[in-house]
Amino acid sequence: MYYRFGKAFYYISIIFFLFFLLYFYSALTDQVTYQTDGEGGISTIGKGNFFYGMIATFVALNALVLVPPKMLETKSYRKLHKLFPIGDNYRDYLLTWFYSFGGIINLSLATIVFYIHATNNQEEIAADEFGFFFYLIPGLLVLWIIALFLLFVGKAKQLQKRD
């Protein structure tokens, strides 16, 4: 049941990322600044390279995150299905974890796109206002990794009780 909320969060994050990418892509100049140093030097990349690079990163990370839950849902990997059978609470928790982790990955990519936009359009929003997000996203990722570890510990205890 919970995995449906994780799935909804995941799909909403996809829409959020794609909206940010397409909207801010249209507002960017031909050369996109992605790094500035304290001495006034900048590093740039072409607008098309940035767009296709973000799409490639998005597709690669989402494929990597979605393979395990899809294998579990479609029963294509029997050992995984035996470990997490239908009706097991930990199956639901694991699916929820994977889909919500994919959502957090997508939100972090959206934050990167928003930061690049802020770096290139200083009159709308300053890039310095992103300090909170630069600590929030890694914090969420660490929290989700800890949750996965706790999920596996709970599953191991369940398996020990059954044997």
Q: Per-residue pLDDT tens for 78-117?
A: 777 777 777 778 888 888 889 999 999 999 999 888 888 8
pLDDT of residue 71: 82
Q: Per-residue pLDDT tens for 12-42?
A: 999 999 999 998 888 888 888 777 776 666 7
Distance from the first to the final alpha carbon of the chain? 27
**The Cα angle at residue 18 between residues 13 and 22, in degrees rounded to 5:** 155
CB contact set of 98 (below 8 Å; sequence gap of 6+)? 6, 65, 66, 68, 69
For residue 61 the two structure tokens come to 């990370």
Band of residue 45 on the pLDDT scale cut at 50, 70, 90: confident
